[in-house]
Amino acid sequence: MTHVSESIDIGVPAETIYALFDDTQALPSLVSFVKSVEPAGDNLTHWVVEVAGVKREFDAKRVVAEAPVRSRWESATPGVDFSIEARTDATGPTSTRFSLDAEFDAGRAERLGLAKAVAGKLVSSELKKVKQQLEASHGA
């Protein structure tokens, strides 16, 4: 399993970030490796993700929803290892440390020892993009 953990400080309230990442169907507009997330039943969503050219589809369930602090989703599809957790930590009234942790089976890239470095750069880049979008839209 490959584990990636990245954090970034964003100049918006924690509630704003939580609400954005709580809307799983909006995730593809925020992070490029999430291609789609669609409802698939009670507390269940169908995800399509693509990292380093490897596409995976699976169902995931939310296992933690602690507004406005933490959300966690885990694969509900047998044989697919995946989890992602979004956390917010208010550092002031209009500033937040946002953290994203992901754990997944990266297949061949993992066996070659490349997955963590590639995924870490991808998540870091995506968080910088989210920071720019949020701060621009909230006048930070």
Res 117: pLDDT: 67
Chain centroid, CA 95 distance in Å: 19
More confident residue, 50 or 112: 50
Average pLDDT over residues 42-67: 89
pLDDT at 102 over 80: yes
Residue pointed to by tokens 């954090």: 7
Name residue 5's amino acid: S
Radius of gyration in angstroms for the set of CA atoms belonging to the chain, rounded to a whole number: 15
Question: Which has the closest alpha carbon to 37: 65, 16, 64, 57?
Answer: 57
Q: Name beta bridge partners: 90.
A: 96
Strand order in the sheet with 44-51: 2-10, 95-104, 82-92, 70-75, 54-66, 44-51, 34-41
Percent of the chain with pLDDT over 90: 51
- Flag whether pLDDT at 112 surpasses 50: no
Give the least confident one: 17-26, 81-90, 109-118. Answer: 109-118
Residue 139 has pLDDT above 80, yes or no: no
DSSP 1-21: -EEEEEEEEESS-HHHHHHHH
Q: Residue with structure tokens 């409802």? A: 39
pLDDT band at 85 (very low <50, low <70, confident <90, very high): very high
